[in-house]
Structure 1
């Protein structure tokens, strides 16, 4: 598949300094797009169950992934400026960019697939990361970025992406409610 739609959707890819890592992230997305016959990655919904519940049909996965990546970059850069943190900005960016690649398999438009029902979020993403021959640290970020698994972040990079994802999702939900404790 042509990688240009992925590069266009995620300009943050260019911030990854490691060429192999960047190529692996692109490969994970292009493979997932091809395997699930996605015509336009920018039209993929963010998270259909929440969107239906909250009436937020105009939220898209690419925008969410970019929000998570921007938040994660800012947190990482702040940490690196303020303290001697052992954290890889490349790993944070790559992890943020692939953290929700599984949603291409979990949903067909607004409908859940068998992968969503039987595996749940984000297990297919671990497969996508492994298939792209990305480092295990990225599979860990994918698996630990959500409370829908029992895997807790074991690295600072995974912790940063998890919190960035929670904040970006809360920002979306805040459009439909004034009290985030109710959703």
Structure 2
């Protein structure tokens, strides 16, 4: 199994170097953490939230979350492009950024347990290093860092904002499956 099988959305990235770097980021993160590519699809989404919500570690998975965020970000970008004529949305940046926004969760957790990286830095901060090691452009590091309010870094580009909103929508959908009132989250 390869990264393209786990994340078929990667094929939508037109820039060969960017597509290769996104694949390298995931492959390196998996290898660094002793995870076989074939086992990526079994990695939990976000253990602290899963515990808090009473979601089993295998009920919500990281790969499906990343794929949901990617689909949602692409949908938002396409809608804005079609309805508002926003010609400067870079779809390669949207897809690549959505695909790598949580790549560093592989360093933050070992199964359902937080690692030292998770305890001291958290995945958005460590993700800057992961994207740099994969030779991804600074826009990817910015998306990783700004995709969550945990960092206090606000999105500076429309692409980063769309990935952040897509991540929020995916998280809310996960919570909606276990809560009758989202205000209880």
Q: Report deviation, 1:182.
A: 1.8
Alignment RMSD (CA, Å): 0.9
1:58-109 per-residue CA deviation (whole Å, 9 max, x = no partner) reads 1000000000000001111111112232210110000000000010000000
1:154 pairs with 2:156: yes
1:88 to 60, 75, 90: 90
Superposition map of 1:123-162 within 5 A: 123-162=125-164
| Partner residue of 1:10 out of 7, 23, 26 | 7
Counterpart-to-counterpart distance in 2, 1:84 and 1:13: 25
CA distance in 2: counterparts of 1:170 and 1:63, whole angstroms: 14
Does 2:20 match 1:23?
Answer: yes
CA apart distance, 1:123:
1.2
Structure 2 residue matching 1:134: 3-state secondary structure: coil
Partner deviation per Cα, 1:124-151 (whole Å, 9 max, x = no partner): 1111110011110010000000010010
For residues 126 and 144 of structure 1, the distance between their equivalents in structure 2, rounded to whole angstroms, comes to 10
Contact preservation (8 Å) 2:107, 2:123? no
In the TM superposition, what is the alpha-carbon distance from 1:121 to its structure 2 partner? 3.0
Match of 1:101 among 89, 100, 103: 103
CA distance in 2, matches of 1:20, 1:123: 24
2:71 corresponding residue in structure 1: 70
C-alpha separation in 2, matches of 1:179 and 1:16: 37
Distance 1:104 1:22 in 2: 20
Residue aligning to 2:40: 41
Structure 1: how far apart are the matches of 2:112 and 2:2?
A: 21
Question: Displaced runs of 4+ in structure 1, greater than 6 A?
Answer: none
Contact 1:98 1:142 in 2 (8 A): yes
Residue 119 of structure 1: how far off its partner (Å)? 0.5
| Long gaps (5+) in structure 1 | none
Deviations 1:29-70 (A, max 9, x none): 000000000131001000001111112111000000000000
